Amino acid sequence: MTPDTPASSAAAHEMVCEAETPAEVLFVCPEQACGRRVVVGKSHPRLTVLTRGDFRARHVGSLGAIRIDGLKTA
């Protein structure tokens, strides 16, 4: 399903939506060794990190119009 990613600093983890409210979405990283969790605001482009997880990995994820592409924290 996902292309093979080398076990290097360029690893990319695809986050999945675990919970959703009218205002926010909780994304979690399914990688066992990582477990990153973030909350993304819907109306404001805001990202709150709950669990840092594997800080070196690039995290991506999307749900509808919401997209995470790793470094946007504005």
- Using CB under 5 A as the criterion, which residues of the chain lie in contact with Zn ion when the complex forms? 13, 29, 31, 34, 36, 53-54, 57
Nearest to 16 by CA among 28, 25, 34: 28
Residue 43 Cβ, how far from Zn ion at the closest point, in Å?
26
Q: C-beta of 27: minimal distance to Zn ion in Å?
A: 10
* C-beta closer to Zn ion: residue 25 or 57: 57
Q: Which is nearer to Zn ion, 34 or 38 (CB)?
A: 34
Q: How far apart are CA 34 and CA 24, in angstroms?
A: 22
Which of 1, 3, 4, 7 has its CA nearest to residue 57?
7
Nearest distance from residue 64's CB to Zn ion, in Å?
A: 21
Taking the least distance from each CB to Zn ion, the nearer of 24 and 31 is 31
